[in-house]
Amino acid sequence: MKPLRKSAVAVLIALTAGLSTRAFALDGAELYVKKTCVACHGKDAKTPILPIYPKLAGQNPDYAYNQMLDIKSGARANGQTAAMKGIMHLVSDEELRAIADWLDTLKSCNN
């Protein structure tokens, strides 16, 4: 194998290894619990503690992600966001994406 090809293969392996490690680190189900989403939205994301809190199971991932970003930035600041605003600074945008993607995998409340 030529030296250039060997280095290209080494770079590809390093990138692939980094991506797989990152994917494991960003487990949406684990983050949902760790970041305390479960406390208000329920273990199954279908049984919130108050009826005014949304059921999140099966939510469109882009919609959920954008709503969480808006709450985090303050762009969405209605009365129902006050509880989340205090927590959102503890969650990175990458973690929000992982949570949103995981919520999409759950069977929605309407099914």
Report if residue 15 sits inside a domain: no
Q: What is the mean pLDDT of the chain?
A: 83
Domain containing residue 79: CATH number = 1.10.760.10
19 domain residue, yes or no: no
Residue 59 falls inside a structural domain: yes
For the chain, how are helix, strand and coil distributed in percent, rounded to 5? 65, 0, 35
The mean pLDDT value for 85-103 works out to 95
Q: Residues of the chain with pLDDT > 70: what percent? A: 75
> Is the pLDDT score of 90 beyond 90?
yes
Task: Provide the domain limits for residue 65.
Answer: 28-105
Q: Tell me, yes or no, whether 61 lies in a domain.
A: yes
- Structural domain contains residue 97: yes
- For the chain, the domain total comes to 1
More confident residue, 25 or 97: 97
Q: What one-character-per-residue DSSP string does 28-78 give?
A: HHHHHHHTTHHHHH-TTSS--SSTTSPP-TT--HHHHHHHHHHHHHTS--S
For the segment 6-17, the average pLDDT, to the nearest whole number, is: 49
The answer to whether residue 105 scores a pLDDT higher than 90 is yes
Report the pLDDT value the prediction gives residue 48, as an integer from 0 to 100: 96
Asked if residue 32 belongs to a domain, the reply is yes
Q: What is the pLDDT of residues 29-67, one digit of tens each?
A: 999 999 999 999 999 999 999 999 999 999 999 999 999
Does residue 43 lie within any of the structural domains?
yes
Asked if the structure places residue 1 within a domain, the reply is no
Q: What percent of the chain has pLDDT over 90?
A: 63
